[in-house]
Structure 1
Amino acid sequence: MSFFRKLKESIASKAEQVTSKFKDGLAKTRDAFVDKVEDLFSRRKKIDEDFYEELEEILIGADVGVNTVMNLMDELRAAVRKNKIEDPNDLQPILSEKLVELLRGEENNELRMSGNGLTVILFVGVNGVGKTTTIGKMAHRFKSQGKKVLLAAGDTFRAGAIEQLETWGARVGVDVIKQQSGSDPAAVMFDAVQAAKNRGVDVLLCDTAGRLQNKVNLMEELAKIYRVIQREVPDAPHETLLVLDATTGQNALSQAKMFGDKAGLTGLVLTKLDGTAKGGIVIAIRQELNIPVKFVGLGEKMDDLEVFDSEQFVHALFGKWASEMGEEVKE
């Protein structure tokens, strides 16, 4: 079996396993990004510099990130030379596989859970990115798995943050540990950990403030929260997830860099992916930060938080290609 036939067969098979949520959630990116790529591949009859330049522009326009695009173009050029590819259509499956590789990395996308007792997950991120909503959806997810969940209202700075978390707690059916607005967030975390231990809770989900007016204060506050949690639960927090709004594109990347290593990030949650035509930001973030995307928000419903899967993501985007490849393979 030829190299191209094997590759096309593999992609067609994987594409059949893509969930409808990924397909529906990535519709805007697929329409804006993939349709342009498909038009390029069908319009151009040969792979030359004009072809590469146009592909480069499309990828950058989808917020894949300039550095990542440059590296990707070098890899595609090398693949064209190595496999003596002349027809742009033969480059489609290779582009698809390269994008999967860029997203996959070596890390495990699954959440790290405590092997013995309480799991503590800390959520960080600026205001307005959907942090509280993500916590609510995550609480629903764990509760659906039969776990006992508790929420900690650690964002004592933003007006309405505590009430918003309480609203989600009521919707999901889990309790919220809180103090008055303006209280010390580390004190809230101490209370929450104690309550979680006393009640035999499986998972404690902790909200934090997302103000950016003073980055130093924010980082010091996070460091203090860390110390309090680790003193009470030595191997916690088991995950520190940065929540980013995918619709902000490159701004999401700059936010991620701001939190960076100082916040001890273990993973990312990308919200509102269904609302953007620039889903390529997922690739840019993964490449430039080397932090795994663990969850993506693909809608507004309570169960629209999906475990991120690089193959599902890419094959949901390139579903049309994949189905065409499947037809080719059958012929």
Structure 2
Amino acid sequence: MHSSAHEKLNQLINEMEKVILGKREVLQLTVTAFLAGGHVLFEDIPGVGKTMMVKTLAKAIHGSFSRIQFTPDLLPSDILGISVYNAAAQTFEFHQGPIFTTILLADEINRTTPRTQAALLEAMSENHVTIDNHTYPLDEHFFVLATQNPIEYEGTYPLPEAQLDRFLFRLHIGYPEFSDELDLLLNNQQDKLNQIRQIVTAAELSQMKKLVADVYVDPQIARYALQLVHATRNHDGVALGVSPRGAVAFLQAAKAYAFVNGRTFVTPDDLQHVLPATFGHRLLLKSRSTSTEVVLGILEQIVKRVPVPVRR
């Protein structure tokens, strides 16, 4: 099953690459987060293809897709849904909100109020919605890709640390390479999106997630992962390091990354590869700087300082 699953995942990433050009690394990490059961926060300028990427993924796994544009006046019920009284039946009926989907694009999540942000983030961690004492389960493969705009800080509500922790990865798509952008100009991406085939079924996804859970982690590797986590807590420039929940997420991400790369065990390389995306948004620096370069610089120092376990 492992080799066929790896082949399927390769096909999935190749299919997505037909629409999202030259960003294989980002696509691979997005699929990794999906298999790990996590969610992704994209911090990017508008117009680099985030919506297109989410639609492409939804199509390739034949899942439903919803998009919520976050605005200052958005209410929790606009996301979760609402109970409406039916006079004829004399009962309340629940009308589902856009969160009842497989893949949800939460656009500009930092433009809405903390109360509305919390409603989404609670549903993300619980995988269900509770309205009027009734609990409604979300899709088994429910996956949130949220975006926040780093430039425009006017009228934004930054996500608190505890809520940032709910995202497995923070990723950046960034501008395309010149040749890829030229291809964008010459070809209609919407046409390419319409031609995307379904690669993976829901049943295959469930099976893959079980296989990810079974990926082997040697105690030495787990120890190395925890040493990296502890190094963030003991770094001079860091006020708040990675939490125990972040440590669990780190190992889960490494297992999924190993699986995406066709292995049944985690290597130190897997941990180092997912580290920037997993740790970047979980650190609070003493300087209060949120600059990606500064954070990545600290993470590079940590990786260099912690000795890599060697096979005896």
Q: TM-score, normalised by structure 1?
A: 0.29
Higher normalized helix content (fraction of residues): 1
> Rg bigger for which structure?
1
Q: TM-score, normalised by structure 2?
A: 0.31
